[in-house]
Each structure stands twice: as structure tokens, then as C-alpha cells.
Structure 1
Amino acid sequence: MSQLSVLDLPQLYTKPSAEAILETLALLTSAPPSWDYESDSAANDGSNLYTRKDNEPRAVRIDPEGVTRYLTSIVSNSLRWIQDEEVKEEIWNQASLRLSERSGRTARGDLTRQFTIPTSDGSFELSIHEPALTGDDLGLKTWAASYLLAKRLHLFHLTTQGQHNKPRVLELGSGTGLVGLAMAGLGADVVLTDLPSIYANLARNAEANASVLEQNGGTIRTGVLDWNYPRSCTLIPKSVIDTNSDGEVLSEKFPLILAADSLYSPDHPRMLVDSIVAWLSEDGSARVIVEFPYRDAYLPEIANFRQRMTVAGLQILDQGEEKGYDDWGDASKDDDGLVTCWWSCWGREVPEQNP
């Protein structure tokens, strides 16, 4: 792959054409990461679970040294040799966007990502929209643990092709909905839930992927479930964004509950486990599958979650670790955002048999 230096790009002192500048700015685009990468270890076990960021076009790579300064020079230049004022505005706008892309996810505006989800005999794609990040609504972003769990789901063999009774699944703290949508894409009937502030984008992603899920035999419903009130969940009708509208009060329990990257407060382990207890069916085959990143600040929350799950009569049936990326910081750093995540599958305790 060829690599260009900033000095190989059109220099403003030469008064390059507007077309040349716009083409260069397009070349400098840092695309939203797809995270699709098959490492040697992933290739060996067939899971395709390790990921990396894919932030730059494949045909030509630009040496990042000096790119920020180059973009800043365009934004601050009057571009007097270009007569069309609208074109100049577009150049300044594109240069500003390229700068924001290099300032991490918090500086980006709205974006839509394509995620490839493996199945037992192929794969399918999901389109996930993320609004610009504002305030504390971290559920508006897709996190590494969610993508890793979405890619791992097929390994649990929860669905089979042509299955008459589809698995009923509840996702808690769905965020952008990637995990639950992936489960539906595997042929399950899934309910996605989150807070009212997250719901509009969650419903948007459910609608955007409806045709893919239908083709794969799955279904999606969306609702509001506040963990402060773990036993109350309202399903919102399709095409309705107002969470204050009348909806169906959910009453059924579920044999499978999913959750990913949902522990970032000392109260969350208690709230999440209370919600799991409220909605997990009493069936002996009921399962809970979760995945959380090992972030130093929240390691006590993971330990608290494990303890509370055990007290609730659930035990780990299977677990493991894997690595992925969060695109939170500087997109130009290949190792930025690398996190190790812990996944686990829980079930009800099996009483010991007397000899």
C-alpha cells in the first residue's frame, strides 16, 4: 500500500483548484471504524472475534504527521483565488470535518456504521446509526463489548434454521441495539429496551434493519425499561417516538436475557441484577449472556455484579475474554481504545445430586 506525505498533497501557496482541494479532503476522510479484522488467534478458533479499527481508505494511506496542521491551514485560509463562495464554504466545512474526525468520537457528528455479524453458515450486515454524542447519553454510541458479543452470539447455538418456536429474548440497556438486532438476525424474537432518552435512536435502528431481520426469520419490538423500576416495561408501537404515548405493558418473562457494557455506575450492578431477576423465566434452561469491558474504574462493578448474580441463584456456565476497540480517542492511533472484555453465560444453579 502506498503512503503519501503531507508535502505530496496540494499546497495552498500553489493556489490549487477547488476540485483538487476537495479531492484531497475526501482522501483524508477518517471513516467510521468497521472493526472487522480476523487475527491469527481468531482465525484458529473460527470465531472472527478480534477486531481493529479501519479508519482510512485502503488505496492510499496518508502519513498522519502534519495532517492536522495542513487541515488547519485550509480552514484559516481565505482561498481568494477561488471565486465561488459556496465552493469555498464547502472546502472549509470539509476541512473542519476532517479535523473533528481526528479529535475522537466525541467530536464527530451523526454517523452510521455497517457491522458484519457472523452466523453458523455465513453472515449478514446491520446498519447502526449513532447521533452526535452530547451530555451523558453513552447509550447513543456503539461500544466494543457490544460488537464482540453480537459476533459471539452464533457460537452459543441459541437458534437453528427453520426452528418453529423462536427463542424469546430480552435485551437490557440496548443502547444502539446492535446486540439485540444481531440476535434477531439469527432468527429470534427480541425485545430491545432502554431509557426514554435513548429510545428514539433505538427505534430508528430497529426500523432501519427490519427487512434484514425479517429475511433471517427474526422479529424486533422496542420498549422503555428504566432499571430504577425493574418490573415495569412498556412496549412502544412502531413509528411512535414519543415514549409518553400509550403502549403495551410487557408481562411475559424471557428464557434468554442479554446485556453488554452496562456497568458504569456503582448502582448499576444492583439495578441490572434486579432487572434480570424480574424478567428471567423460572425455566431451568433460562440463560443470561453478558459482556463487559475491563475498565479500571469499573472493575468493582463487575465484581459486584458477579456476587449479586450468585446470590440471585445464577451461576457461570461458560466464560472467556476477548479484545476489541472503542473509538473514543484519537482516531490516528492504531492502539487507541483497545480494551479487554469479559463475556459470560449464566444459568440457574443445579442442585447437587445425592449419591
Structure 2
Amino acid sequence: MSPLSVLDLPQLYTKPSAKALLDTLALLTSAPSSWDYNADPDTKDGLDLDTQGEVERVQIDSEGVARYLTSIVSNSLKWIPDEEVKEEIWNQASLRLSERSGRTAMGDLNRRFTIPTRDGSFELNIHEPALTGDDLGLKTWAASYLLAKRLHLFDLIPPGQRDKARVLELGSGTGLVGLAMAGLGADVVLTDLPSIYTNLARNAKTNASIVEQNRGIIRTGVLDWTSPHSCTLFPEDVVDTNGDGDALSEKFPLILAADSLYSPDHPQMLVNTIAAWLSEDVDSKVIVEFPYRAAYLPEIASFRKQMTMIGLQILNEGEEKGFDDWGDASKDEDALVTCWWSCWGKNLPGQDS
């Protein structure tokens, strides 16, 4: 079926009903593109935008949509008597415009992610506040989504294992990777900076039931890489860092991190933190995934070098493609990123580095 033209939508000169306009604006909802490269855009493979109710998706030619939405925002809609309904129409039209201006122009989002398992899948609900300032951890990045979907392939939780895998996630952001690991049945501690913690704790609380159903455990805390040996955990019902917490003391046989290198200082800081919290077990592992962004390629090279200096070596690695949703990924080539994932283990005496 060919896409509808803007001219097929209710035209304002015909004085369409409020319901007709609201239904049309619902059809124009622009969910973020799937971050899977080669994914079917109609299915949004694994990613959806939380909406009120189910809306039948109709393809609409993007040509002229922004102008159509602007005409609604600027129209008095004087044939619609209900002032509250008119406000809702203007609000929805404004939201549709902001969605087409890229992620930075959008407000809060609630996203649903489907995470594959060895024998099925489960769904996580992730909240992203409106992006302000430099809090990049308030957005879910392509590398995090790709790593969350890849975790089950590492066989980190063997079938029938009684003791839960203990996992620490560094730079958790919105918590997608750590929550995915917990949803696979692990005992996971998610950590980030104080400015990120409130949203991280909110997402942990939102997904607590699905994690519990899958026999996982989640805890959240603050860990600043400038003080790599100090981590404070907060109770489940605490969503800010103003109260007292408990110092984390245990070390972990598995550490996760995704898309956390965007400063020349970060590689050394991240590796120092890994060294502080990785257990001495010979089979301890670190799994990371970072995008190959041109500006930060030196950071990846530095990370690799620093990891070897603390006695770790790459056990397995690969590349995969995905999209970051700063704009329309179908039109913005810069949204397509190649991500490098790697699994690191101990470089034991007698092993080749």
C-alpha cells in the first residue's frame, strides 16, 4: 500500500471534528526508529514507544507533514466549542512537531524494549526524562540496546545453576543493560552518578516485578569513577541520593559497561573502576560495548591499552550496527553507528596476551 499524502488528511478549511483531528494526530505519532540496523521499520524490532492504547499504523508520506502540523498549532479552531479539547489538539500537534525535530527536542519518553533469552523474551519499560544539559545518561543509546540483546549469547547463567551470577554495571544510565542482565536471572548492582540516579532507581522500581519473575535481583547505587573504590547503595524505595545508604564492599565476577567513553579521561577512569571492583576469580569477565564515533576513537584505543595493563585480555569480540535516535535514522546517515563489543578475561601466566 502506497503512503497517504498529507492532502488525504483532514484539511482545516473543511472544519473537521475534534475527534478527526485527534485521531489523525495519533496516526502521526513518530515512534523512535528501531536501533537494529536492517530491522523492519514497520515492526520496530524490539523497541516501541509507550502510547495510550493501540493505534493502527498507517504509512504517511512525510512531505508536508511539518507544515500540516504547524497549520494546526497556529489555527484558532474556532468551530470547536470545547476549549480544553482545542488545547489538547494544539498540544498533540506540538508534540508531533517536536518528535520530528529529533530526540533533543522531545519531552519525557517511556520506551518498551524486548530482550531475547535462551528460550523466549521478556519486556522492559524504560523511562527517559527530557534531555537537558550534559546528562547524557538520561538517554538510552544504541550500544546499550545492542548489548542488552546480546547478553544471553554469552551463556553467563548456565541452566540449573543455583547461585545467581553477581554482576556490577558501571555507568548504567537508564539501566537497560543491567536490567536486561537481571531479567536473565542475575543479581545485578546498577550504578551511575548522583544526577543520573533518580531516573535509574525509577526504572529499577518499574521493572522490579519482571526481574523477580525471572528470578533476578536488582540493587541501585551511586559510583563516581573519580572515586573508584567508593560505591553507595540505596534501599529499593529510595529514588534520590539525599538519604543515607550502605557502602558496597563485595567484588564481582562480571562487570558490564556500555557507551561510557566520551571524554579523554574516561578510559583510565573506567579501567581504574573495573580494577577496583572485579573479583580475583580466574574466570572473572568484563563485557563492554562502545560505538565507533569518530571523535572518540582515541578513547577506545586507550581503553584497550589500559585494560591489558591491568591484566585483562580479549576473549571474544565483534561489531554490529545500530541507530542512535537523535533524528530520523532513515534520513540521517550520522544516526547509523557501528558498535564494538568485547568480552575480557584474566590474562593468566602462561597465556598469550
TM over 0.5: yes
Match for residue 145 of structure 1? 143
Structure 1 position 52, deviation (Å): 8.9
8 Å Cα contact 1:28-1:98 kept in structure 2:
yes
The alpha-carbon deviation at position 53 of structure 1 amounts to: 7.7
CA deviation profile, 1:171-227 (whole Å, cap 9, x unmatched): 000000000001111111000000000001101111111111111111000000000
Shift in Å, 1:283: 1.1
User: Partner letter of residue 195 of structure 2?
Assistant: S
Range that drifts further, 25-34 or 266-275? 25-34
The CA deviation at 1:25 is 0.8
TM-fit CA distance, 1:18: 1.4
8 Å contact 1:32–1:111 — kept in the other structure? no
Report the equivalent of 1:329.
327
- The answer for the alignment partner of 1:305 in structure 2 is 303
Q: Does the 8 Å contact 1:34/1:113 carry over to 2?
A: no
Against the structure 1 CA distance between its residues 54 and 2, is the aligned structure 2 distance closer, same or farther, given a 3 Å change threshold?
farther
Q: Post-superposition shift, 1:84?
A: 1.5
Amino acid aligned to 1:308? Q
Aligned partner of 1:43 in structure 2 is none
Aligned counterparts of 1:159 and 1:132: Cα–Cα separation in 2:
35
Q: Is the 8 A contact 1:2 1:60 kept in 2?
A: no
Distance in 1 between residues matched to 2:351 and 2:307, nearest whole Å:
22
Which is further off, 331-340 or 176-185?
331-340
Match of 2:339 in 1: 341
Amino acid at match of 1:179: V
CA contact (8 A) 2:262 2:296 kept: yes
Cα distance, 1:53–1:252 mapped onto 2, change above 3 Å: closer
How far is 1:338 from its partner? 1.2
Which residue identity lines up with residue 188 of structure 1 in the other structure? A
Q: Corresponding residue for 2:173? A: 175
Structure 1 residue corresponding to 2:280, chosen from 261, 279, 282: 282
**CA-CA distance at 1:307 after TM superposition:** 0.6
8 Å Cα contact 1:149-1:291 kept in structure 2: yes
Deviations, residues 58-106 of structure 1 (Å, cap 9, x unaligned): 6410000000000001111111222221111111111000000000111
Summarize deviations over 1:21-64 as a string: whole Å, max 9, x none: 11111111112445467759xxxxxxxxx969878976410000
Partner of 2:4: 4
Q: Structure 1 residue 84 and structure 2 residue 82: aligned?
A: yes
User: Partner residue of 1:120?
Assistant: 118
Q: Note the 1:1-355 alignment, pairs <5 A.
A: 1-35=1-35, 59-330=57-328, 333=331, 337-352=335-350
Checking the alignment, whether the CA contact within 8 Å between 1:234 and 1:250 is kept in structure 2 is: yes
Aligned residues: 345
Residue 124 of structure 2 aligns with an amino acid whose one-letter code is L
8 A contact 1:34–1:115 mirrored in 2: no
Which residue identity lines up with residue 11 of structure 2 in the other structure? Answer: Q
Match of residue 47 from structure 1: none
Shift of 1:241: 2.2
Mark the CA change 1:128 to 1:81 in structure 2 (over 3 Å): closer, same or farther.
same
Given that 2:47 and 2:112 are in contact with CA atoms closer than 8 Å, whether structure 1 keeps it comes out as: no
Task: Say if 1:321 and 1:340, in contact at 8 Å, map to a contact too.
Answer: yes
How far does residue 350 in structure 1 lie from its aligned partner after superposition?
2.3
> What is the SS of the residue equivalent to 2:66?
helix
Cα separation, 1, equivalents of 2:275 and 2:125:
31
Residues 118/252 of structure 1: CA separation in 2 closer, same or farther (3 Å cut): same
- Measure the CA separation in 2 of the matches of 1:264 and 1:296: 11
Indicate if the aligned counterparts of 1:10 and 1:16 stay in contact, CA closer than 8 A: yes
Task: Structure 1 unaligned segments of length 5 or more: list them.
Answer: 41-49
Output the CA distance in 2 between the equivalents of 1:6 and 1:203: 42
Instruction: Output the aligned Cα RMSD.
Output: 2.2
Q: For residue 159 of structure 2, give the secondary structure of its aligned residue in structure 1.
A: coil
Amino acid at match of 2:26: A
Confirm or deny: 8 A CA contact 2:321 2:337 kept in the other structure: yes
Q: How many angstroms does 1:326 deviate by?
A: 0.7
In structure 2, how many angstroms separate the alpha carbons of the residues matched to 1:21 and 1:353?
Answer: 67
Hey, what's the Cα distance between the residues in 2 that align with 1:332 and 1:105? 14
Worse-matched range after superposition: 50-59 or 305-314: 50-59
* Aligned mates of 2:189, 2:218 — CA distance in 1: 6
Secondary structure of residue in 1 paired with 2:19:
helix
Q: Which runs of 5+ in 2 are unaligned?
A: none
Q: Which deviations, in whole Å up to 9, do the C-alpha atoms of 1:241-281 show, x marking residues without a partner? A: 23131111011110000000000011100100000000001
User: Cα gap change, 1:353/1:114 in structure 2, threshold over 3 Å: closer, same or farther?
Assistant: closer
2:112 aligns to what SS in structure 1?
strand
What TM-score does the superposition give when structure 1 sets the normalisation length?
0.92
Report if the CA contact (8 A) 1:326-1:339 is conserved. Answer: yes
- Tell me how far apart the structure 2 counterparts of residues 147 and 202 of structure 1 sit (CA, whole Å): 15
Deviations 1:151-181 (A, max 9, x none): 0000100003332111100000000000000
Structure 2 letter corresponding to 1:136: D
